[in-house]
Structure 1
Amino acid sequence: MAMYRNDRLLGGGLRFTHDLVITAAHCLGRNPRRGDTLRLYTAKAVVDGSDEEMFDGTVVELPRGDIALIEMHLPRGPGGHIPPTTARATRDDPWRATYRPTLELGALTGTVSVPSLPKKARDGEVIEVIQLLCPGNLGSHRGYSGSPVELEPSSALPRGAILGILLQQQPNRAKPQESSDTLYAVPVQEAVTRFESLSDRHLLECLIAESWQQQPIAGAAEGEDGKEGKDGPDQKKRRNSSVPMEHADLLLDMWGKADLLDAHQIQSIRAWMDEHRETDDDQNHL
């Protein structure tokens, strides 16, 4: 996604959930603060100016490490956003930046040179980063910060997988005024652990269940003519209540395999899910 404030381009961002975007904090200005507002554009909005793909947003978290979390102002209810597939970087992985500051500029591409490296961020915090090689002598990559760094699509991953968020470019040590072909990105897993809004229980309660709990089930309580079917309204409500858990099971497995959640978080979420399943079962027997 592209971020703007007062028609000024700030940088890119990764739409991680239905309404939360991860980006590089320095994109938001010299002294970003929680509560700052901005405008977010999807790729479709950037290309054709579609109003339906433009959203207001608010900075909700600014942990140390030059990362930020933005909440999009979306209507409550079911969301159609599919969470991105994520992966751990490995040496020589081909990558590309999915965001470009303008349509006149090309996409950054290259290979992973170091999959995991401790490095000081702009604010002095030591974080895990991915070291990326971006050959081509393109000079400064100013404006690309905040872009999702995607593993190039393959037969195994047709849609590709997100490795991290682009943070900065290494200066040329021989000529400090110039930039090198080395970039750094924060892995998605590292970023997620630093946001309270993406903690285990909050993630499940607010970002998953809420997205599907009001989603209607076709034919659950209505006949083909639009009238109430044989199950009745109570049965429709019962079937709707099971939808969040079905999706949560799938997402939990996916995030666990991608190392977005550790064993303790998974155990905590499953306990919460089991508790709510029991609550639903009790209500269904009343």
Structure 2
Amino acid sequence: MTAPEYWVDLHRAGQRLGGGFLLNRTFVLTALHCLRGLALEDQVDIDLSGGGRVEGRVCRQDTKADLALVEISADQQVNLPMPAADHARDGGRWRGPYRPTATDVHLSGLVSGTAHHLCVGGATIEALQLTADQHLGDYSGYSGGPVEGVPDDTAGKPTMLGILIEQTPDRADPSRAANVLIAATIGEAISRFDQFDVGHLIDVVRPPRSEQRREQAPARFADAEELLLKFDDWVERGLIDPACAAEMKAEAVRRLIAREMGGADA
């Protein structure tokens, strides 16, 4: 287990809600049902695995896919190492670095496959089917935690594969959960939120001051948009992982805006 980890615990008014993990320095990804009915803009306390607490707010919810984003307050810094994202390999080993309490076991097992999965909320998503080594009966406390790929050699580093969202019922007893879990892939989760879209990044970092400025923006930011689109191309070609690309996009746009704000228009 890396130290410190990138997973977090979410709390509200002293009550533990569930797990989640850092996609980058700004956003925490979690399963929506872990938020227990919180609405958009509701405040959430984020306990970091290495110690310390930062504040955040619920900024996006995908009810159909059971996913949510929590945005860390802009005045608070989080500097934790995060593994690269990757695609799961059928038959490969996986592990869950997050556990509800210090006395709970870490989950591990085999990746049974990747397929389209119909969520309880109605969305069809790209998901991992995971067989767990541990027969717990109830895995609900692990929802929202990350799924890591286990490297084949001891020198390899773990990679982030997905987020736990559901467990399947036991065929012999539907009231019990089988040791088969469902995780949305990282690529699927990121694609669900416009925070990781090129156009949205530009609008968030520097909102247009007027309709006239909005019309001029495409030409003004043409070079920057070309660079940001390259990041998407690199992800598709497997040169960088989606989470890393999202962070690089945000940093590139922030630098552009800092330069612009220091120019004649400032």
State the partner residue of 2:85.
86
Q: Which letter maps to 2:27?
A: L
> Which protein is richer in strand relative to its size?
2
Contact kept in structure 2, 1:22 and 1:68, CA below 8 Å: yes
Q: What's the counterpart of residue 171 of structure 2?
A: 173
Contact 2:43 2:55 in 1 (8 A): yes
The amino acid of 1:41's aligned partner reads D
Provide closer, same or farther for how the CA distance between residues 188 and 154 of structure 1 changes in structure 2, counting only shifts above 3 A.
Answer: same
- In structure 2, relative to structure 1, the CA distance for the partners of 1:16 and 1:254 (3 Å cut) is farther
Task: State the structure with more CA Rg.
Answer: 1
Q: In structure 2, do the counterparts of structure 1 residues 3 and 128 end up closer, same or farther at CA, with 3 Å as the change threshold?
A: same
Which residue pairs with 2:102 in the alignment? 103
CA distance in 2, matches of 1:156, 1:106: 21
Is 1:189 aligned to residue 187 of structure 2?
yes
Of stretches 89-98 and 198-207 in structure 1, the one that deviates more from structure 2 is: 198-207
Find the partner of 1:40 among 32, 37, 46.
Answer: 46
Query: Which residues of structure 2 form unaligned runs of 5+?
Result: 1-7, 206-223
**What secondary structure sits across from 2:120 in the alignment?**
coil
What TM-score comes out, normalization by structure 1 length?
0.68
What 5-or-longer segments of structure 1 have no aligned partner? 46-52, 208-243
How many residues get paired? 225
- Classify the secondary structure of the residue corresponding to 1:119: strand
1:198 aligned residue = 196
Residue 8 (1) aligns with residue 15 (2): yes
- 1:227 corresponds in structure 2 to none
The aligned counterpart of 1:70 is 70
Cα distance in 2 between the residues matched to 1:55 and 1:136: 32
Q: Is the 8 A contact 2:59 2:70 kept in 1?
A: yes
- Which AA in structure 1 matches 2:132? C
Q: In structure 1, what is the Cα distance between the partners aligned to 2:234 and 2:152?
A: 19
Q: Note if contact 2:118-2:124 (Cα within 8 Å) is conserved in structure 1.
A: yes
| Shift in CA distance, 253/125, structure 1 to aligned 2, threshold 3 Å | closer
1:24 corresponds to which residue? 31
Q: CA RMSD in A?
A: 3.5
Change (3 A) 1:173 1:74: same
Taking a change above 3 Å as real, the CA distance of residues 3 and 155 of structure 1, as seen in their structure-2 partners, is: same
Pick aligned residue for 1:260 from 226, 242, 246: 242
Distance across 2 between alignment mates of 1:79 and 1:8 = 22
Query: What TM-score results when the alignment is normalised by the length of structure 2?
Result: 0.73
Shift of 1:33: 1.9
Counterpart of 2:4 in structure 1 is: none
